[in-house]
Amino acid sequence: MSKKVIVISTSMRNNANSDILADEFIKGAKSSGNITEKISLKGKNIAFCKGCLACQITKKCNINDDVQEIFDKVVNADVVVWVTPVYYYSMSGQMKTLIDRLNPIFVTKYKFQDVYLIATAADSSESAIDGTIKGIMGWIECLNETRLKKVLKAVGLTNPNEVKTHDKYLKEAYEMGKNI
């Protein structure tokens, strides 16, 4: 049975290594008959959460920007894939801002259970991704029956397009998508 997969790419850089891996994941997911949609945060208008908690009553955020459309796609997905470059040993600010704005999920019926993470870092140590994993786990632990299914740690990538010379990471992203 095919799954509806939402891939959220959070890099703002052109030819971003994380975005290239997102595309490989999507190729793999499609090869297994899944329905995929990639949402790039580049060019999106996403304001910061104001902490008003109105969303806990209304089940939607009262800020009028691009988040509501993203929210609707996330809650109706079978699988959510977060893709981020690592900045200062954590997720991108765009990713964290969107996670905060997805706060209405806490009181909304959502379909997904499996969450995947693809993270790229200039640092060559896989431990450079640990802060990002800890951050996404904070979101996952607030959602009942949701789990971090798999993480791709692509390290040692500094320049745009550099991941194209690392077949190991390209194959891992493809296989991760193929096996969701």
DSSP string computed for 143-177: STT-EEEEEEEEES--STTGGGG-HHHHHHHHHHH
* CA 132 centroid distance within chain: 11
When pLDDT is averaged across residues 46-52 and rounded to a whole number, the result is 97
Threshold 0.85, pTM exceeds: yes
Q: Which of 172, 133, 154 is nearest to 16 (CA)?
A: 154
Residues 2-27: pLDDT tens digits?
999 999 999 999 999 999 999 999 99
- List the domains of the chain with CATH numbers: 4-178 (3.40.50.360)
pLDDT of residue 16: 97
The rounded distance, in Å, linking the Cα atoms of 165 and 148 is 28
Residue with tokens 């299914």: 149
When pLDDT is averaged across residues 42-55 and rounded to a whole number, the result is 96
At residue 1, does pLDDT exceed 90?
no
Residues 121-172: pLDDT tens digits?
999 999 999 999 999 999 999 998 899 999 999 999 999 999 999 999 999 9
Sign (positive/negative) of CA torsion 79, 140, 90, 50? positive
pLDDT of residue 145: 86
- CB neighbourhood size of 127 (10 A): 11
pLDDT of residue 42: 96
Which two structure tokens, joined as six digits, stand for 155?
């390290």
Helix and strand numbers, DSSP H then E, in the chain: 6, 5
Residues 56-93: pLDDT tens digits?
999 999 999 999 999 999 999 999 999 999 999 999 99
The rounded distance, in Å, linking the Cα atoms of 84 and 121 is 9
